[in-house]
Amino acid sequence: MIEYENLGELNKSFFEEYKISFEKTLNSGWYILGKNVKQFEEEFAAYHQTKYCIGVGSGLDALILSLKTFNFERDSEVIVPSNTYIATILSILHCGLKPVLVEPDLKTYNIDPQKIEEKISSKTKAIMIVHLYGKSCDMSPILALKEKYHLALIEDCAQSHGAKYFGKLTGTFGEFGAFSFYPTKNLGALGDAGAVLTPDFAFTQSIKRLRNYGSDVKYYNEIVGYNSRLQEVQAGFLSIKLRHLDEINAHKQKLAKIYFENLKDDFTKPVDDKNYFDVFHIFNIRHTKRDKLKEYLLKNGIKTEIHYPVPPHKQKAMEGIIIEKDFPISEEIHATTLSLPISFYHTEDDIYRVIEAMNKF
Ligand SMILES: *Cc1c(COP(=O)(O)O)cnc(C)c1O
């Protein structure tokens, strides 16, 4: 059986380092927002050659606290891709703002920059982009629109740790880069965790306040805050894994290359463009008989996933919230996409076995 993912196997090579770090934290007697968090924040900012990083409780919180910082008027509009994971849209709703969905480009699965401008109104305050599956969005036209309409830019980098656009790392283009370290992500912790990157000192102060009950000094609350603090054990694990992030991404890129070179053309593969340093959080293909293919692969001992089976505008939770229903490209992707095994622990042989089965379909 080739599993889609196995978090125990994925982390196995880090276990020895993790145990040492865990024991140190255990003995330290300090478990939230301490030395480990500070160290990881510095390392993660340095990795991105950006100024500040603030550790938070999850990827969703990283998005919410980023948006919250701007204090946009209620019902202001935020542009967001229509085929993202629901968390991106939830962050907008939790801030009392209105998500305005823009269709993706069917080749990259990322927001189609050509379709953004027609959705911008006098109420639009921000663009929240998602570097989906590990590939950066097409940033040049997005940055041009940001300038032209004076919009804030928040990047959802939950799937793009280490991904680059013309050599520049995702998470460093906008006011905020919001990261998730959910265990399955390329830089995954052993529980929930997240972080925000920003080049701006005042924004850093805002996020730090928001994550800790709106307080700068203990028991003195300046604003209505949250509890979204990064834990010491997770930060310790993340510092260790960050040192291996490039190796993790390189491994996934090597496996992706095997798919690119050997999968037959019946399957629609992602675009492979050297200007996009894609870290393949997910390697997806598209096929009209997707469900049959998934079943066939399972019969052949290969597990796959669908990212995602239901687009946001069709989720029950969005009834009465997302009124517009005309998103044919999103629906096309959701109906045909299939994610193939591409974990850090998968071997080249595993991938050749997947390809062999697929090419006989
Ligand atoms: C995982 C993910 C999130 C949410 O991260 P959590 O840490 O689970 O809160 C947000 N956006 C995208 C695109 C994701 O894949």
Contact at 8 Å (CB) between 162 and 279? yes
Look at residue 194 in the predicted model and tell me its pLDDT. 98
Q: Which atom of ligand 1 is found nearest the CA of 87?
A: 10
Q: What is the pLDDT of residue 226?
A: 97
Per residue in 139-159, pLDDT (tens digit) is 999 999 999 999 999 999 999
Question: Which atom of ligand 1 sits closest to the CA of residue 132?
Answer: 13
Taking CA atoms only, the protein residue closest to ligand 1 atom 15 is: 158
Distance from Cα 283 to the centre of ligand 1, integer Å = 17
The protein residue whose alpha carbon is closest to atom 14 in ligand 1 is: 158
Q: Whose CA is nearest to atom 6 of ligand 1?
A: 59
* 140 Cα: distance to centroid of ligand 1 (angstroms): 24
Find out whether the beta carbon of 228 lies less than 6 Å from any atom of ligand 1.
Answer: no
Domains of the chain in sequence order: 7-102+109-242 (3.40.640.10), 245-359 (3.90.1150.10)
Q: What is the pLDDT of residue 287?
A: 98
Q: Which atom of ligand 1 is nearest to the CA of 281?
A: 15
Ligand 1 atom showing the smallest separation from residue 181 Cα: 7
**pLDDT digits over 225-245, tens only?**
999 999 999 999 999 999 999
Residues of the chain with pLDDT under 70: none
Does the CB atom of residue 85 touch ligand 1 within 6 A? yes
Q: What is the per-residue pLDDT for 49?
A: 97
Q: Is 194 in the pocket of ligand 1 (CB under 6 A)?
A: yes
Distance between CA 223 and CA 206 in Å, rounded? 10
Q: What pLDDT does 42 receive? A: 98
Residue nearest to atom 2 of ligand 1 (CA): 158
Pocket test for ligand 1, best of 63, 92, 180, 186 (most atoms within 8 A of CB): 180
- Whether residue 307 contacts residue 337, with contact meaning beta carbons closer than 8 Å, is answered with yes
Report the pLDDT value the prediction gives residue 199, as an integer from 0 to 100: 98
Whether 159 lines ligand 1, by a CB cut-off of 6 Å, is yes
Atom of ligand 1 nearest to the CA of 130: 13
Reading the block at residue 129, the tokens are 């982009």
Ligand 1 center to 112 CA (angstroms): 21
Ligand 1 contact, 88 CB (< 6 A): yes
